[in-house]
Amino acid sequence: MTKAPEIGHVVFEATYGMGHVKICDDAYRSRTPEEIEETLRRCAEIVMESRLRRTSAV
């Protein structure tokens, strides 16, 4: 059985079906606001591209 990763500073927890999700902000704690903004911008871009692909595949 795989051991669960160490949990850091949890900022959000939710249960989806049979799974429990914990989101930590450890990766962002030592980053500048500009670096964080760029990461969020890239994430939004990835989500939009995925949605466009899914919509055009129908």
Q: Count the domains in the chain.
A: 1
Domain of 55, in residue numbers: 30-58
Please compute the mean of the pLDDT values over residues 10-38 and round it to a whole number: 89
Residue 8 structure tokens: 């850091």
Contact 23, 10 (CB under 8 A): yes
Please compute the mean of the pLDDT values over residues 27-52 and round it to a whole number: 91
Asked whether residue 15 is assigned to any structural domain, the reply reads: no
Please compute the mean of the pLDDT values over residues 27-43 and round it to a whole number: 90
Mean residue pLDDT of the chain comes to: 86
Please compute the mean of the pLDDT values over residues 2-22 and round it to a whole number: 82
Q: What is the total residue count of the chain?
A: 58
Percent of the chain exceeding pLDDT 70 equals 86
The 3-state DSSP class for residue 43 equals helix
